[in-house]
C-alpha cells in the first residue's frame, strides 16, 4: 500500500480508532519492550513507503504499515549530533547546547577550511552533558535493561553510551562515520572485527538480535543506531548491478544536478551505490524484526523508526534527492529536517493510520516513558510532548511552536539560521544578513514562495517569538568575520559552479556505467555476501 493510498484511507475514515487486543488485556501489568531504530542521513523520500520508486525497503515499510505514520515528523536538527542529543534529552538543540555535529570547526578555526564565509560559526557544547538525565537513564531507572548498538557521536571517551545509561554498548564511540567503511575490517574500538567482508549494518542487527535473545525474559530498551546511510557510501557488486539496471530501465536522465544557493544539489534518485546501501540497512532491520517474531516478542514490543536528519543531496557523498522537499541534510528547508517518523504499538490497531500533527525528535522521550508506564520527567524533556494520546486515537488540541537553531555553516550548503514552525507557518531567520523567509506549509509544502513581505505581521510575530525563545535559553550566535574577503568568496562560488558541478555530473554517469569498478574487491564486500 502506498503512502498516498493510506492517506486517502485515513482521511476518509476521519478518526483513528484504537482498541485493546486480547494480548493487551491479558498482559496489563507487563511493560512493553522498546526497539528504537535510528538511521543516519536517511531522507524522507528514501523509502519505497514514502514515495521512492528507486529504493527498496520492504522491512521498514512494514513498520510503517503496521504502525502510525507521522507525516509531519521532524528531526530536531539538520545534522546528526544535535538531533541525537535531542532524542536523548528531550530538549531542543539551543537548550542543550549541542548545535553542530561534534568535531565541526567554529570561531576563527573556521577560516582554515577556506570557505570564505561572512560569519564565524558559534561555539557549541562538545559532549552530551553529564547532568542530563538521558532517555536511557530514565528507562534504566524504570527497570529496563538498556542496550545501544551503532553510531553515537555524542562525545569522546568518558561520554560514550555506557556513560549515559546504557548497560551495553556495541559500536558507539566519538566518530560519526563508519571508519574503515561498511565491510570488515573496520576501525572501531567498540566493535571487534570477526569476519572479513562482514556487512556493518547486518553486524549491528545481529548484535541487537543477540541482546534481545539473551534478555527475552526481561524488559528491554534496545537502541539500534545505524551508521548507514552516512558516507562513504558503499555496497556490493551484486546490489550495485541490480540498481544500475533498475536506473537504466527507468531511464537515466541527462542531468542529475542543479545549483542551490551555495552548492550543487542532486535532483534524481539514481545512485546504485546508495540504493544498495539503503537495501542492506533495510535487510538488517528485517533481521531484527524477524528475531522479535521468532521469539514471540513482537506482540509486546514497541518499534520506533526515524532518521536524524535529511538525506545527503549536497556535499559529502551527494547520495540522494529529497524532492519534492527542498534541500537536504544541512539545509534549513524541509528536506533537511522532515523525516520518516513511525511508531508501531502492537496492541493498538494503527495499521494505515496517519497523523498530520507536527511532531519532532524531542517527543520520543516522553512518549516512550508514557507507553512504558514510567513517570514523566517534565523538567528534563522540556521540549517534548507525549504522543500517546494520538496513538490511542485522541486528538491533541495544543498548538505549540517548534524551534531549530543552527548558527553554523553546513558542509552541504546550509546557511546559519534559526527556524520556528507554528501551525502552518514556518519562518527561517538568516544570521548573515537578518533576512526572514516565511512559508505556508499547508499550501506550499515545498517552500517555493517566500511570503515574508506579503504577510509582514505574521513574519514579525514569529520572528519575535523565535528571538525571545532563543534569548530565554541563552542560545549562542555566530559572529561577523572581520577578515571576510568577498573577492575570495566569489572565486570559490565560481569554482563550484564551473568545476564542481560538471565533475559531479561526470561522476554520476561513471557510477551508472556498466564498467564501473570502485576497486578490486568492492570495498572488501566481495569476500563475503551481505
> Beta strand 359-360 with 417-422: parallel, antiparallel or unpaired?
unpaired
Show Cβ contacts of residue 300 under 8 Å, excluding neighbours closer than 6 positions: 23, 27, 30, 32, 33, 346, 347
Q: Which residues of the chain have pLDDT under 50?
A: 1-29, 529-530
Please give the pLDDT value at position 10.
Answer: 37
Q: How far apart are CA 530 and CA 526, in angstroms?
A: 9
Please give the pLDDT value at position 528.
Answer: 63
Show Cβ contacts of residue 118 under 8 Å, excluding neighbours closer than 6 positions: 432, 480, 481, 484, 489
Q: Give 3-111+128-386's CATH code, choosing from 3.40.720.10, 3.30.60.50, 3.40.50.300, 3.40.1360.10.
A: 3.40.720.10
Sequence-ordered alpha helix ranges (H) in 28-149: 58-66, 80-89, 93-96, 135-141
Residue of 284, 192, 276 whose CA lies nearest to 235: 276
- Are the C-beta atoms of 67 and 334 separated by less than 8 Å? no
Bridge partners (DSSP) listed for residue 342: 69, 305
DSSP 8-class letter at 322 = -
- First-to-last CA distance in the chain? 28
Residue of 335, 345, 390, 385 whose CA lies nearest to 365: 385
Tens of pLDDT, residue by residue over 477-511, are 999 999 999 999 999 999 999 999 999 999 999 99
Gyration radius (Cα) of the chain, Å: 22
Spans of all domains in the chain: 3-111+128-386
Q: How far apart are CA 401 and CA 165, in angstroms?
A: 30
Indicate the burial class of 215 (C-beta count within 10 angstroms; 0-12, 13-18, 19 or more): middle
Amino acid at each position: 500500500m502506498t503512502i498516498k493510498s493510506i492517506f486517502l484511507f485515513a482521511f476518509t475514515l476521519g478518526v483513528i480508532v484504537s482498541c485493546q487486543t486480547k494480548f493487551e488485556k491479558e498482559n496489563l501489568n507487563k511493560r512493553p519492550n522498546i526497539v528504537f531504530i535510528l538511521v543516519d542521513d536517511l531522507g524522507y523520500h528514501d523509502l519505497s513507503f514514502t514515495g521512492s520508486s528507486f529504493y527498496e525497503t520492504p522491512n521498514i515499510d512494514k513498520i510503517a504499515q503496521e504502525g502510525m505514520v507521522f507525516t509531519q515528523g521532524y528531526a530536531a536538527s539538520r545534522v546528526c549530533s544535535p538531533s541525537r542529543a535531542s532524542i536523548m534529552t528531550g530538549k531542543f538543540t539551543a537548550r542543550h547546547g549541542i548545535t553542530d555535529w561534534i568535531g565541526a570547526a567554529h570561531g576563527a578555526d573556521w577560516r582554515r577550511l577556506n570557505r570564505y564565509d561572512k560569519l564565524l560559526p558559534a561555539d557549541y557544547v562538545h559532549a552530551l552533558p553529564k547532568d542530563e538525565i538521558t532517555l536511557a537513564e530514565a528507562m534504566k531507572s524504570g527497570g529496563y535493561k538498556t542496550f545501544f548498538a551503532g553510531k553515537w557521536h555524542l562525545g569522546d571517551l568518558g561520554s560514550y553510551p555506557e556513560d549515559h545509561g546504557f548497560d551495553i554498548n556495541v559500536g558507539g564511540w566519538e566518530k560519526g562515520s563508519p571508519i574503515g567503511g561498511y565491510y570488515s575490517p573496520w576501525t572501531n574500538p567498540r566493535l571487534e572485527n570477526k569476519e572479513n567482508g562482514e556487512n556493518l549494518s547486518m553486524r549491528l542487527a545481529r548484535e541487537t538480535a543477540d541482546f534481545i535473545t539473551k534478555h527475552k525474559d526481561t524488559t528491554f530498551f534496545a537502541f539500534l543506531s545505524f551508521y548507514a546511510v552516512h558516507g562513504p557510501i558503499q555496497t556490493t557488486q551484486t546490489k550495485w548491478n541490480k540498481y544500475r539496471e533498475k536506473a537504466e530501465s527507468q531511464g537515466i536522465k541527462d542531468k542529475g544536478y542543479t545549483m542551490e544557493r551555495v552548492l550543487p544539489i542532486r535532483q534524481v534518485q539514481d545512485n546504485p551505490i546508495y540504493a544498495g546501501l539503503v537495501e542492506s540497512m533495510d535487510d538488517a532491520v528485517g533481521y531484527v524484526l524477524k528475531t522479535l517474531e521468532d521469539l514471540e516478542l513482537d506482540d509486546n514490543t514497541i518499534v520506533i523508526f526515524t532518521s536524524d536528519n535529511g538525506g545527503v543531496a549536497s556535499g559529502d557523498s551527494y547520495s540522494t534527492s529529497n524532492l519534492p522537499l527542498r534541500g537536504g541534510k544541512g539545509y534549513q528547508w524541509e528536506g533537511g529536517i522532515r523525516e520518516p517518523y513511525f511508531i508501531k504499538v502492537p496492541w493498538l490497531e494503527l495499521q494505515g493510520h496517519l497523523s498530520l500533527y507536527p511532531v519532532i525528535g524531542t517527543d520520543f522521550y516522553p512518549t516512550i516513558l508514557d507507553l512504558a508506564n514510567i513517570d514523566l520527567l517534565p523538567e528534563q524533556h522540556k521540549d517534548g510532548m507525549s504522543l500517546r494520546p494520538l496513538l490511542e486515537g485522541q486528538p491533541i488540541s495544543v498548538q505549540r511552536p517548534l524551534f531549530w537553531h543552527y548558527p553554523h555553516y553546513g558542509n552541504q550548503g546550509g546557511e546559519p539560521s534559526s527556524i520556528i514552525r507554528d501551525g502552518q507557518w514556518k519562518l527561517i531567520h538568516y544570521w548573515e544578513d537578518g533576512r526572514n523567509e516565511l512559508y505556508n506549509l499547508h499550501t506550499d509544502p515545498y517552500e517555493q514562495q517566500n511570503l515574508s513581505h506579503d504577510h509582514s505581521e505574521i513574519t514579525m510575530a514569529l520572528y519575535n517569538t523565535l528571538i525571545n525563545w532563543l534569548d530565554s535559553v541563552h542560545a549562542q550566535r555566530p559572529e561577523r568575520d572581520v577578515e571576510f574577503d568577498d573577492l575570495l568568496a566569489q572565486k570559490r562560488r565560481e569554482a563550484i559552479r564551473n568545476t564542481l558541478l560538471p565533475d559531479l555530473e561526470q561522476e554520476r554517469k561513471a557510477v551508472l556505467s556498466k564498467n564501473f569498478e570502485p576497486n578490486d574487491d568492492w570495498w572488501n564486500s566481495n569476500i563475503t555476501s551481505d
